[in-house]
Amino acid sequence: MKGTGFTALRVFMLALLALSAAGCFPGGERYSFSDPAGFFTGIWHGWIAPLSLIVGIFSDNVTLYETHNTGWWYDLGFYMAVISGFGGVALSRKSRKRGHD
């Protein structure tokens, strides 16, 4: 039973992280034409894109991409986060496998 407390803490921290990210999902009424999402918001939306995709399946208010954005700058931040987040993970896994052979 020694690992049960650690597992409960991990589940609690994951739930806390999901709840804190819930207020930052793209879509809804947070951004508008007069107050669009910018570069740093694009980075955040790129990092949480997998969660946004899953939540968006069950919610009509959450989208994968914020439509009220600054244009090119939001796109740059969004794609930088998506590429670096997922590409970096794939590259690190590949290099670890080679090191153990």
At 8 the pLDDT is 81
First to last CA, the chain: 35
Q: How many domains does the chain have?
A: 1
C-beta atoms surrounding 89 within 10 Å = 10
What rounded mean pLDDT belongs to the chain? 80
Structural domain range at position 33: 2-100
Q: What is the pLDDT of residues 67-76, one digit of tens each?
A: 999 999 999 9
Q: In this structure, are residues 45 and 81 in contact, taking their beta carbons and an 8 Å threshold?
A: yes
Higher-scoring residue by pLDDT: 79, 98: 79
Whole-model pTM?
Answer: 0.67
User: Mind listing the pLDDT tens digit for each residue in 14-41?
Assistant: 777 777 666 788 887 888 888 899 999 9
